Amino acid sequence: MERAVGIDLGTTYSLVATAGKGAARVLRDANGDGRFPSAAFFGRNGKDALGWDALHRAEHEDGDLLLSIKRFMGRGAHAARQDPGLRSFRLAAGDDRMVRFHVEGDRTVTPIELSARYLAALKARAEQDLGGPVTGAVITVPAYFDDAQRQATKDAGKLAGLNVLRLLAEPTAAAVAYGLDRPEHDNGRYVVFDLGGGTFDVSVLAFERGVFQVLATSGDTALGGDDFDLVLARMLLRDAGWDDPAGLPRVLLNQARAAAKAAKERFSTEERVEIVFAPEGGRPVRRTMTRQEFHVLVDPVLRRCRAPCEAAMRDAGLTGADLGGVILVGGSTRMPVVRAFVREFFGREPLLDANPDEVVAVGAALQADLLSGGDRDMLLLDVTPLSLGVETMGGVVDKIIPRNTSIPARARTTFTTYADGQTGMDFHVVQGEREKVEDCKSLARFKLSGIPPMAAGIGRVEVTYALDADGLLTVTARETTTGRTASVEVKPSYGLTDAEVEQMLVDSMDFAEQDMESRLLIEGRVEAQRIIDATRKALREDGAMLSAAERRSVEDVTAQLEVAKNARDRHEITRLIDALDHATAEFARRRMGASIQSALKDHSIREFT
Amino acid sequence: MTKCPHCDATTDPVAEPRCQGCRALLPLPAGASPFDVLGLPTSYALTAEALDAAFRRRSMAVHPDRLARASDKERRIAVERTAALTEAHRTLRDVEARALALLRLAGVTPDHRADPTLLADLMETRERAEQGDDVRRALVEQVGSARAGLLTDLERRFGELEREQALRDAARVAPLGALVTRVRYLTRLWEDLQGQREHAVHVQ
């Protein structure tokens, strides 16, 4: 029996849902609550806690409460230092690729590890409910997450022992859950306005006969309900006599934030809220605030929703009048101030008949069922949120796959050589909307060599970008006269290599910080494995091109590399990688020659590198 | 007409993506045009709605997510067909790229260089646009309507060729090459005048 689940890995709360035969349902805890707070507490005394338990303990006990860590997924330490949040967490000396937090017990944890713990808890909930192991999961991500943030989420899934079937954009998931059973929506254009705890997405979709096509998406991966809480919490701390929250005890910050959040939630149903905040060592605060005063206070936060809404509507080529409706998703859309913004911006009443907390998980569950072979008459056509391009002369970006292109996708462009006798071409793959390379995110670099010498402008190189359904990019460059090719499967450097994920699984109990040396060793091992796999594959497929002696020599070096890979001397690994490269050079040339005869297909090209 | 790689039945993978015999997904024939990929007639006169509807309909038939239980071979075909579908949809959605696709089908390679009179015109217009916002706005109007006129022209002439079944006749299609090049220059000018360069979206 298939037991596929959909998981909404949220900033504030996470949920898990399943959709076997029939309707999808959210899986609940013993109290009937589907929500699992995305929170971890590392207490000075006693064990670590997750979820509700973590929140409860943090209000009475000293320790590290880690909240909203989704903001740091796929981000370097630099991003965490800039975070405007009230810092009740302690940053460890992280690096450019990943944020690390110090927690009690002299340990460090990463956002990926914490996310993996939340995912594991939801997996356990699902397995108990379904009575067996979970076979696959669709995990949702903000539509506007970039490559690194998506990769980090996927790594967290792997670390939690999940078979990640797909990463699905949250607004798309919500649209599926919302639209399926309502035939009157057929053929309409809809906006999903998704304001969660820490992220904001806006997507424009077309629904037609079971097909959900995303037309455009935009957002801000650092805007959400948390920002409303922070404004209010800072005000409470000021009223209590602390103008600068830096250096205040963590328990105090947690109390201020909890009071702010509670007040914010009451404004959703009440016109006037009495806020009481009586912290130890401060002036007791007791003030009555009207909804109007609250709106004025949070207006600067709300205004940040405007630019993404404009961008999505412009890219979709629509105006408010073209829409069939605006669907609200995310707990923060309960706030009347947010609904007023939506009403004003899109010129219509938002649709309210969806459960904004649960639709994302339900949509993910439906997609998980479809991807596991469930018989569902639906299809989601998602898009890539950010443009993918290549650096050209002068550091300018040439966009190959523009943002909002449906995935899977493929696009090609041709470059000519710029110098006489040029034999190689370097490619720099970038992601982002800006014109200049330094303003975009660098994803990968690779080189095409072996171009026959020609006059400048004569050599032509065709570059193909292929994006699969998960948004994973492969770039191939092919010189058109010789058919010489080079390609790279893009894995962003901020994510984790497979070997690192495995390493973390092994080390997950002691969270030891890896030093430079061990990272280089891991990278060497990954590279070694890649080359060993490629060589074995080539031998299996085209071994007949080699004489028995040639074959033996390639096999010998491969075996030596295999042994070195499992030892700890990275210099030896590097030496043998070079040796294997050398030993297979002639083999590669023969294979290349044979392949030019046959029409080259993308998947066969990749095998050469 | 080609043989189904799964069951050897005779099939037409352009008209019907799935084999009539075994219902498996068929690969695209070599050299399939963007029109073939979408299952649409070769024509310049296609509305955005018709293209979007064809894209969604074909996606339902060829997307790998609809084939979770299919063989690896069929799923590879699905990925290939879906990528081609996205590319074809994007090409035909853009009137200029659509015109270029029709030229290519006829074996016509347009000269991408503008003729000297057009170049002089373009430079003069750009200079005048520097005179102030009012002038620039007036020029946006003017260039926009000149471009719209050329597009109407293009649609009419492609329409004639289509009615006379001459869309693949290189000698008859060739004169449209210069017209397409002209449209492309005007589009670039028009966008520059509007300041329609990509605005940086708020990125964290």
Chain B residues closer than 8 Å to A381 by CB: 56, 59, 63
3-state DSSP call for residue B55? helix
* Chain A residues inside the 8 Å CB shell of B52: 206, 213
CB distance from B89 to chain A under 8 Å?
yes
Where in chain A is CATH 3.30.420.40?
Answer: 4-223+304-381
- Give the integer Cα–Cα distance in Å for A73 and A561: 34
Cα A303 from chain centre: 25
The lowest-confidence range among A315-329, A573-587, B32-46, B58-72 is A573-587
Find the CB nearest A408 among B30, B66, B79: B79
Whole-number pLDDT of residue A299: 93
DSSP assignments along A336-361, one per residue:
HHHHHHHHHHHTSPPB--S-TTTHHH
How far is A188 from A324, CA to CA, in rounded Å? 5
**Residues 6+ positions from B130 with CB-CB distance below 8 Å:** none
A4-223+304-381 CATH fold: Nucleotidyltransferase; domain 5 (3.30.420)
Nearest to A211 among B59, B64, B204 (CB): B59
Q: Compute the C-alpha angle B86/A321/B89, nearest 5°.
A: 10
R_g over Cα of chain A: 26
E strands, A441-515, in order: 441-449, 460-467, 473-479, 485-489
DSSP state of A332: G
Q: Measured between CB atoms, does B109 come within 8 Å of chain A?
A: no
Q: Is the pLDDT of residue B110 over 90?
A: no
Query: Is it the case that residue B204 has pLDDT exceeding 60?
Result: no
Strands A13-18 and A409-416: unpaired
CB B43 within 8 A of CB B162: yes
Give A-chain residues touching B30 at CB under 8 angstroms: 599
CA pair distance A163, A377, nearest whole angstrom:
24
Find the closest chain B residue to A434 by CA distance. B200
Q: Which residues of A touch B65 (CB under 8 A)?
A: 370-371, 379-380, 469
- A377 — phi, psi (to 5°)? -90, 65
Which segments of chain A have a pLDDT < 50?
492-494, 508-515, 599-609
**Cβ-defined contact of A410 to B203 (cutoff 8 Å):** no
Distance to chain B for A207, nearest Cα, Å = 9
A with B: how many residue pairs have Cβ under 8 Å apart?
Answer: 88
Considering only residues A501 and B80, tell me which one the structure prediction assigns the higher pLDDT.
B80
To 5 degrees, how large is the angle CA A367–CA A373–CA A378? 45
Residue B11 CA to chain centroid, in angstroms?
26
Window 134-163 of A, Cβ < 8 Å to B: 146
Q: Do B64 and A213 touch (CB under 8 A)?
A: no
Q: Which residues of A touch B79 (CB under 8 A)?
A: 408, 468-469
pLDDT reported for residue A500 = 59
Domain with CATH 3.90.640.10 in chain A: 225-303
Omega into A308 within 30° of 0, i.e. cis?
no
Measured CA to CA, the distance from residue A89 to residue A257 in angstroms comes to 13
Beta carbons within 10 angstroms of residue A566's beta carbon: 9
The CA distance from B121 to B117, in Å, is: 6
Residue A264 Cα to chain centre, angstroms: 28
The residue type of A248 is L
How far apart, in whole angstroms, are the C-alpha atoms of residue B53 and residue B92? 13
Q: Where in chain A are all domains bearing CATH 1.20.1270.10?
A: 515-609
Distance, in Å, from the CA atom of B192 to the CA atom of B140, rounded to the nearest integer, reads 9
Q: Catalogue the active-site residues of A.
A: 8, 70, 170, 194
Contact (Cβ atoms closer than 8 angstroms) between residue A201 and residue A338: no
Instruction: Tell which B residues from 67 to 86 touch A, by Cβ distance under 8 Å.
Output: 68-69, 76, 79, 82-84, 86
For residue B204, the chain A residues in CB contact (below 8 A) are: 79, 220-222
Which 3 state secondary structure label does DSSP give A270?
Answer: coil
Best of B37, B62, B65 to disrupt the A interface (most A CBs within 10 Å) is B65
Give the per-residue pLDDT at A425. Answer: 86
**Structure confidence at residue A499 (pLDDT):** 60
| Intervals of CATH 1.20.1280 along chain B | 110-193
CA A133 – CA A122 distance, rounded (Å): 12
Distance CA A76, CA A386 (A): 19
Class at the top of the CATH hierarchy for domain B2-93: mainly alpha
* Rg of chain B taking only CA atoms, in angstroms: 21
DSSP for A11-43 reads SSEEEEEE-SSSS-EE---TTS---EE-EEEEE
Q: Do residue A433 and residue B200 have CB atoms under 8 angstroms apart?
A: yes
Q: List the beta bridge partners of residue A474.
A: A466, A489
Positive/negative CA dihedral, A315, A319, A325, A329? positive
Task: Answer whether A358's CB lies under 8 Å from A389's CB.
Answer: no
B15 touches chain A (CB under 8 A): no
Which distant-in-sequence residues (6+ apart) come within 8 Å of B48 by Cβ? B93
The interface pTM score, or ipTM, of the predicted complex is: 0.84
Look at residue A433 in the predicted model and tell me its pLDDT: 81
pLDDT at A415: 86
Which element (helix H / strand E) includes B153? helix B133-163
Using an 8 Å Cβ cutoff, are A326 and A342 in contact? yes
CATH of domain A225-303: 3.90.640.10
Please give the sequence-ordered ranges of beta strands (E in DSSP) within A68-210, or none if there are none.
90-91, 101-103, 107-109, 136-141, 164-169, 189-195, 200-208
Q: Please, what sign has the CA dihedral across residues A349, A351, A355, A357? A: negative
Beta bridge partners, A379, equal A211
With CA atoms as reference, report the closest residue to A477 among A321, A567, A584, A600: A600
Residue B161 has pLDDT above 60, yes or no: yes
pLDDT at B199: 34
CA nearest A107: which of A38, A44, A39, A37?
A: A44
Packed helices A585-597 and A548-566: angle between N→C axes, nearest 10 degrees: 120
Residues spanned by CATH 1.10.287.110 within chain B? 2-93
Burial class (CB in 10 A: 0-12, 13-18, 19+), A317: exposed
CA–CA dist B53, A240 (Å, integer) = 60
The two structure tokens encoding residue A130: 């379904």
**Topology of domain B110-193, per CATH?**
Monooxygenase (1.20.1280)
Fold of A515-609: Substrate Binding Domain Of Dnak; Chain:A; Domain 2 (1.20.1270)
The whole-angstrom distance between B83's CA and the closest CA on chain A is 4
Q: Read out DSSP for A408-443?
A: SEEEEEEEE--STT--EEEEEEEESS-SBGGGSEEE
- Looking at CA atoms only, how far is residue A480 from chain B in angstroms? 17
Could you give phi then psi for residue A362, rounded to 5 degrees?
-65, -45
**For residue A391, which phi and psi values (nearest 5 degrees)?**
-75, 135
* Best residue in A379, A397, A436 for a mutation probing chain B (most B CBs within 10 Å): A379
Of B68, B199, B200, the CB nearest to A370: B68
- Cβ of B83 within 8 Å of Cβ of A410? The answer is yes
Mean pLDDT, residues B66-87 taken together: 91
Show the tokens assigned to B191: 């966008």
Restricting to A residues 467-486, those with a Cβ less than 8 Å away from any Cβ of B are 467-469
Which residue bears the tokens 């980090």? A152
Mean pLDDT value of segment B133-162: 93
Chain B interface includes A372 (CB < 8 A): yes
Nearest to A88 by CA among A262, A234, A247, A277: A247
